[in-house]
Amino acid sequence: MINPELIVTAILNGLSIAMTLALVALGMGLIFGLMHVPNFAQGNFFALGAYVTFSIVVLTGNFWLAIPIGALCVALTGLLFEPVLLRRMYGRPLPEILVVMFGVLLITFDAIEVIWGSVGLPVNPPSVLAGSVSLAVAEYPAYRLFQIVFAGVVCVMFYVFLKKTTLGLLIRAGAQDRGMIQALGIDINKIFLAGFCIGIGLAGVGGAITAPFTQVFPLMGNDIIIKIFVVVVLGGIGSFRGTLLATFILGLASAFSALIWPPLSEIIIFFIMGFILIVRPGGILGEGEEV
């Protein structure tokens, strides 16, 4: 007999996974679509957001302050990496870009270990979200519900930013035709810098809101980066809607497969990716689908 409590819990767990993946994947998709740079370090920026959140909570005791500060601190690291390292690589062969991005991955990982160490660190959720919420057939952690809603709001804000703001329109135009942007007298390097900072900032937001329901540890970025690459490829590179759809498919698949056999939840995403790419090689909505 189907247990309604397990079904509802699995759906909510799937949404929680999906919304975390969405934030990090949208940031990676933005960077790749705009700059054609595969950001291997996106998972480490996710971890960095969680670590900064931990530090702010320890220093101030205010989790609500830690979320924006964590995201902002991660975004500001782009002011170092993009002008100093990435800007020198635009137009260079892909293998050289991959080596530099692997270097960024190592730098960020080592920086995290040097500053915070290699031991897992706990982040307590705010007291108002410490309990559970009754949902008729199931009890579910209040913080996880907050995380789903908050991440969804950030995704909507990001979409509105891309569609309605001048900078968002310039980023979209730069992703479509950077030569035309330069021909109009706009400094494409400033667009690249803004896009990179926003992209890793989204990863920082994901890390910040994930920290309270998982220990913060250096390798947490490694746990998410493979899934993010799967999401970006599966949704269609450059597609906002495709990325979101891919996160929901993978999140729900992971949550429900865990009910059947927990180890299956770690590998099912690759079966799904293989099947969809056989049917639609360009991803669910197709590579280059307009956001």
Measured distance CA(234)–CA(35) in Å, rounded: 19
Contact 208, 53 (CB under 8 A): yes
Mean pLDDT of 164-189: 86
Q: Please say if the pLDDT value at position 284 is more than 90.
A: no
Which pLDDT belongs to residue 287? 54
**Mean of the pLDDT values across residues 189-217?**
93
* Separation CA 163–CA 168 (nearest Å): 6
pLDDT 10s digits, 119-141: 999 998 888 998 899 887 888 99
Query: Residue range 181-205: average pLDDT?
Result: 91
Residue 44 in contact with residue 81, Cβ under 8 Å?
A: no
**What's 176's DSSP letter?**
H
Give me the helix-helix angle, 188-210 and 142-164, nearest 10°.
170
SS3 at position 41: coil
Mean pLDDT of 200-206: 97
Residue 56 gets the label, from left (phi > 0), alpha (psi -120 to 50) or beta, of alpha
25 neighbors 156 (Cβ within 8 angstroms):
no
Work out the pLDDT band at 2, boundaries 50, 70, 90: low
pLDDT for res 289: 47
State pLDDT tens for residues 4-34: 888 999 999 999 999 999 999 999 999 988 8
Mean pLDDT of 235-255: 88
Domain ranges of the chain: 4-221
What is the DSSP code (8-state) at residue 216?
B
Mean pLDDT taken over the chain = 89
Average pLDDT value for residue range 231-250: 87
Please state which of the ranges 33-37, 205-209, 247-251 shows the lowest mean pLDDT: 33-37
Task: Report the number of secondary-structure helices (H) and strands (E) in the chain.
Answer: 12, 2
Per residue in 28-58, pLDDT tens?
999 988 888 889 899 999 999 999 999 999 9
